[in-house]
Amino acid sequence: MRPEAATLLLVSAMLLALIIPPADAAGPPEHANASSRAVEAVKEVLNRGPADAPGQNKDPDAEEERTENAAPLPGIWAAVLVLVLLAGGSAILLRRLKKREPDTCRTVVSRPTGFPPELADRYDRATFIGRGGLGEVFSARRRDDGQVVAVKVPLARDEVTGRAFMNEMRFLEDLNHPNILAVHSVNILPVPFVEMEYLPRTLNDLDKPLPPETAARIAAGIAAGLAFAHERGVVHLDIKPGNILLADDLTPKIADWGMGRMVETGSDTGVTGYTLAYAAPEQIAPGRYGRPDTRTDIYQTGAVFYELVTGRPPFADGNLTGLAEAILNDQPLPPPAFDRIILRCLEKDPANRYLSATELLDAILAAMKGAGEP
């Protein structure tokens, strides 16, 4: 108990002791000498019916007895006094607490929730950036050289998440390309984590629509990064604006391979999912269109390209059910630029899209050079 509260209770107890005299077997002093005549008078009042109107004859002796015994009980006043003292003391205590220095009442957290304390020797100034399919990403400063980097750690420390996170690490180790987010190091000790280059912006941060030339240059960079990954047997399966980071010169860099998998072996990260607004038909209805593969990345690149030149995804209206049905059955409105390239990427049947990311890249570069859209 705080000292202020203890003092207040002690004062209240002392005042009660002064006000309330000790009781004995004869009862309260006010009633110790009550006569039988007074008791009878009280009974008469209680038994009086509604017909007894004011001004009727009354026994003066009984009236005097009632007057003498009508003194207020001191216990009531004592209780009121205690309540007043407690209320006033509580108000004083609250004011004193509010006036204290903030440091005495606040716990300062040196690291954000979720950032492993085991990495405190390597990094400081960790700040939460975002959460992906497998992990959380933080910006942090390396203690040895002061460089700001991105650090990705698993969302949970269970076996399934750990295995999926390790699979993603294997993907990242082989993906060294200007249009793929650079990985500085991959470690499992003291905890599993990946250190990557830090880029604060994504395509979500750009005002859209973009000039057609800028949109085409970004789409070409995404296609180039995907072509490199596909040649090494890795598909991304979650291309969307939030997973495309931007360098200062707007060079796009593909990030977050948590949903990806190896094409030839069929092994994946163990996490299945997609962002519906950019999902390919085969991700929604694999029974109709087959299993997702490299052409899924081409569809999603087309959806991002569409948004860059129009300011919105190809299908963006309605609830989730309506959105899924539109992706499976509807045709998007033609975009104002690069429409033949974009609409071919967005074909429902994967066989009607570009056969590879390299073919898509060549088509975008040709159109940019003025050779006409294919």
**The total number of residues written for the chain in this structure:** 374
353 DSSP assignment: S
Host domain of residue 236: 201-368
Among 159, 177, 197, give the residue marking a domain's end: 197
Residues 272 and 342 grouped into a single domain: yes
**Coil, strand or helix: which one is 234?**
strand
Q: What are the per-10-residue average pLDDT scores of the chain (374 residues)?
A: 54 55 43 42 44 46 46 56 61 53 37 79 94 84 96 83 76 88 89 92 97 97 98 94 96 89 53 82 96 97 98 88 94 96 98 98 94 46
Pairing type for strands 252-254 and 193-197 reads: unpaired
Beta-ladder partners of 137? 130, 152
Among 147, 167, 197, give the residue marking a domain's end: 197
Number of domains in the chain: 3
- Measured distance CA(301)–CA(254) in Å, rounded: 11
Residues 262 and 356 grouped into a single domain: yes
Structure tokens of 81?
């006094």
**Residue-level pLDDT at 374:** 45
Judge whether 109 lies within some domain: no
**Residue-level pLDDT at 75:** 59
**Coil, strand or helix: which one is 370?**
coil
**Residue-level pLDDT at 80:** 59
Residues 222 and 347 grouped into a single domain: yes
**Positions marked active-site:** 238
Residues 99 and 122 grouped into a single domain: no
Please, are residues 138 and 127 in contact by the beta-carbon 8 Å criterion? yes
Judge whether 68 lies within some domain: yes
- Measured distance CA(183)–CA(151) in Å, rounded: 10
Residues 136 and 97 grouped into a single domain: no
**Residue-level pLDDT at 83:** 64
Rounded to the nearest 10 degrees, the angle between the axes of helix 212-231 and helix 294-310 is 170
**Residue-level pLDDT at 188:** 85
137 DSSP assignment: E
Residues 179 and 225 grouped into a single domain: no
Please, are residues 269 and 167 in contact by the beta-carbon 8 Å criterion? yes
Residues 326 and 340 grouped into a single domain: yes
Side-chain-facing half-sphere of 86: CA atoms under 13 Å: 10
Residues 80 and 134 grouped into a single domain: no
Rounded to the nearest 10 degrees, the angle between the axes of helix 212-231 and helix 357-368 is 150
> Tell me, what amino acid is at 220?
A
Residues 349 and 233 grouped into a single domain: yes
- Measured distance CA(234)–CA(294) in Å, rounded: 8
Judge whether 39 lies within some domain: yes
Query: In terms of Cα–Cα distance, which of 297, 285, 366 is closest to 326?
Result: 285
Residues 258 and 355 grouped into a single domain: yes
Structure tokens of 99?
């006036």
Query: In terms of Cα–Cα distance, which of 314, 370, 374, 308 is closest to 341?
Result: 374
Structure tokens of 47?
């038994």
* CATH code: domain of residue 334: 1.10.510.10
> Tell me, what amino acid is at 68?
E
Judge whether 239 lies within some domain: yes
Measured in degrees and rounded to the nearest 5, phi and psi for residue 154 equal -65, 150
Judge whether 112 lies within some domain: no
Residues 282 and 236 grouped into a single domain: yes
Residues 330 and 236 grouped into a single domain: yes
* CATH code: domain of residue 183: 3.30.200.20
**Coil, strand or helix: which one is 20?**
coil
- Measured distance CA(237)–CA(243) in Å, rounded: 11
